[in-house]
Structure 1
Amino acid sequence: MRDINLYTIGFTKKKAEYFFEKLRQSGVRRVLDVRLNNVSQLAGFAKRDDLSYFLKRLGGMEYIHLADLAPTQKMLDDYKKHKGDWAVYEEQFLELMAQRHIEERISEETLDGGCLLCSEDKPHHCHRRLIAEYLQKKWTNEIRVTHLV
């Protein structure tokens, strides 16, 4: 058994300099984008193609979009637009991860040294934290999670 080092980060409320330095200093090797919408103009420097370029040029990091780890549009709308209850969202999201069998669809090698990226500033009410906790329960290897805030 070996430890897996997994990081999480959100880009909202962060300047690009802080965001990229935080990733670089932590030793992240790849950013695992778990957003449903990763091309929105509202994402600024974190739009898919721009982010991929900046990660490679500024930190030698890889960019991977993992759509299977994103919520559905309906789930996102119910929680964000219709001010849904976090507990309901959390339950639905964890059920979705189980239905998708994400523990079988992503390799430990991809996750190790990876950083789950979403938009939320903090991990408390973000699905990136739920993904990390879900995989901690499913895999036998120890997953050490560090939330970069």
Structure 2
Amino acid sequence: MLQEYQGYVLAYRLRRAVGGRVAPPGDQLTLAGYAAVRLERQDLARRLVREGLDAVWMRRLDSLSDQLMFGFWLNPAEVAAFLRAAIREGSHPALGEPAAFAALLTPGERARLGEAGVAQVCAHHLACFALAAPMLDPDGLNTAWQRVEATRPPLFLDELSG
């Protein structure tokens, strides 16, 4: 779950940097807040499986998924939708430039990671953007996943270090 939270924080920071319609509503969740929303989402999903589909519950599940940015980095459809929306908002250098993506990290995170770690974090997340390409070229999905897996970063957020 810590990797998932870390992905949420970076997605939140990126969406905030892009701004406009892709900016996340509300404040960034703390780790405890994220865990509480994640548990609520998980309980609701179980209830839907157990008790059947319900329109109100489905809308709440979608709302919780959106709040958590669930699947933001690793879901090709989500990545493609984000990139299309970000481009409509005027794009952002962090969508393709490692140095601009690195600027999303705090000074403490960059120090904790070191130069090689920052490069790995940037390479991983920029590789995730390539997951959108297979929406046009399904054969490219395997290559995109290999890049994503080869660059998986360690835990490094300020919120996760004691």
- After TM superposition, the score normalised by the length of structure 2 is 0.25
Larger of the two Rg values belongs to structure: 2
Q: Give 1 or 2: higher helix fraction.
A: 2
Between Structure 1 and Structure 2, the one with more strand by share is 1
TM-score (norm 1): 0.26
Higher relative contact order (CA 8 A, sep 6+): 1
